[in-house]
Chains A and B, each alone.
Chain A
């Protein structure tokens, strides 16, 4: 019994450490927004995989993914406060440009929300081609924000 709980505690510790490592050791606000980005990435991949024929096409999944993106887009402002932990926290890939051009940054978050609203709307019609076009627009909003505001990948 005792051995079992030690093992559980140990595996939890290992899993936590692994998750922290996967985010370059990020904690606090940096970790929180990275988790948000990962959740959106997962939601987008679920749709992408359907278009690539890796999974069956399901408009309901598109709608769910759009909801997840909306949820995170709404939090974007709160997740990038102008504090030292937010600007310089360990593992962060955020560029100082975010705080220099906060208006532009937030406008992109609004764009993201608008694109997710559009995507959800076409998902309810179920037209695969239209869904693909709206999905591409949404995905490009992510990319354009990462172009200006995220550190280039090493």
Chain B
């Protein structure tokens, strides 16, 4: 009996030591970001940035529209199975916003999910999509954000459930689930298709909501198959051409719906997508919306296993 206790104790202590050692020494090195992008010779265009913050849906998470919060001064609650997230203040305020950030800092946040001090961001911030953006587009957004009125408004803390609240664990998550890197055009496809694919996978991050996630919050399909439990617990339909929701929609139907919120059956988009249309897609160019439609039309549903 005594022996048994002794060995259980030794095993327990050894396990704890290993866990602590793994957490302290292995975890921080398990994932390494790609080298920082260079912004030499890239000048941000404010007008293009203004267009892109709408396309990329920045406003919805970083502005409390319903409570008439200042533009980009911090967003409303986003409920997820891991807890509640609050989009931080991204106005150029030096203390509570991102006024001190360089374009390189900004790029590291968008493409590697890293803060200027090297902390990991949670994937509620869709850097898993933004990593596909071009350096020019990133510089444009940064240039535009610098023109926004600075708002002194401390960002609200996320209220997450342990262990999901531990940012250090995100290194492991990134190692398992995060593919970094800019969008690579498919040379077999048309320029319009590639533009659509770039927009959908990168800035507009459609898949962030229109995809089911696994127990760790990582997306499990690349075909926008929808999910029964999207943001704030609401179901989100599949939007590839093979799924029921937009099956039979023409390219014009998709373009028009993104522009006006009106679906081919006469219903209008409400809920979170109503907001996406209002704040985002209705401000996009006909050409870009059409490119998105062309890409979505080319996506088929998941093949049966």
Contact = CB atoms under 8 A, between A and B. Distances in A.
B278 A140 contact: yes
Given A147-B274, A152-B234, A152-B235, A139 B266 contact: no
Contacts of B264: 45, 48
A133 B207 CA distance: 29
Interface stretch (A36-44, A55-63, A117-125): A36-44
A140 B235 contact: no
A92 to B, nearest CB: 14
Interface of A: 38, 40-42, 44-45, 48, 51-54, 135-136, 139-140, 142-148, 150, 152-154
Query: Interface majority SS on A: helix, strand, loop or mixed?
Result: helix
Contacts of A53: 252
B282 A136 contact: yes
Contacts of A42: 266
Interface in B48-106: 66
Given A143-B277, A144-B278, A41 B266 contact: yes
A52 B259 CA distance: 12
Contacts of A41: 265-268
B262 A48 contact: yes
Given A143-B274, A146-B271, A154 B235 contact: yes
B256 interface: yes
Contacts of A142: 261-262, 268
Contacts of B66: 148
Contacts of A44: 262, 266, 268
Contact of A152 (B253, B265, B268, B271): B271
Nearest to A53: B252
A135 B278 CA distance: 14
Contact of A51 (B256, B261, B266, B274): B256
Contacts, number: 78
Contact of A146 (B234, B253, B270): B270
A143 B250 contact: no
Given A51-B256, A136-B259, A136-B260, 6 more contacts: A48-B262, A54-B252, A140-B277, A142-B262, A146-B269, A152-B272
A55 B16 CA distance: 71
Closest 3 CB pairs of A and B: A41-B266, A146-B270, A143-B261
Contact of A45 (B250, B261, B262, B274): B262
B266 A143 contact: no
B266 A150 contact: no
A51 B257 CA distance: 12
A48 B270 contact: no
19 contacts: A41-B266, A44-B268, A48-B264, A51-B252, A52-B252, A135-B260, A136-B259, A136-B260, A140-B261, A140-B277, A142-B268, A143-B274, A143-B278, A145-B270, A146-B269, A146-B274, A147-B272, A153-B270, A154-B235
A139 B250 contact: no
Interface in B271-305: 271-272, 274-275, 277-278, 282
Contacts of A143: 260-262, 268-270, 274, 277-278
Contact of A52 (B235, B253, B272): B253
Contacts of B271: 146-147, 150, 152-153
A144 B261 CA distance: 9
A154 B235 CA distance: 6
Given A136-B282, A143-B270, A143-B274, A153 B261 contact: no
B118 to A, nearest CB: 38
A45 B157 CA distance: 44
B44 to A, nearest CB: 29
B229 to A, nearest CB: 12
A41 B265 CA distance: 7
A139 B235 contact: no
Contacts of A40: 266
A125 B267 CA distance: 27
A38 B266 contact: yes
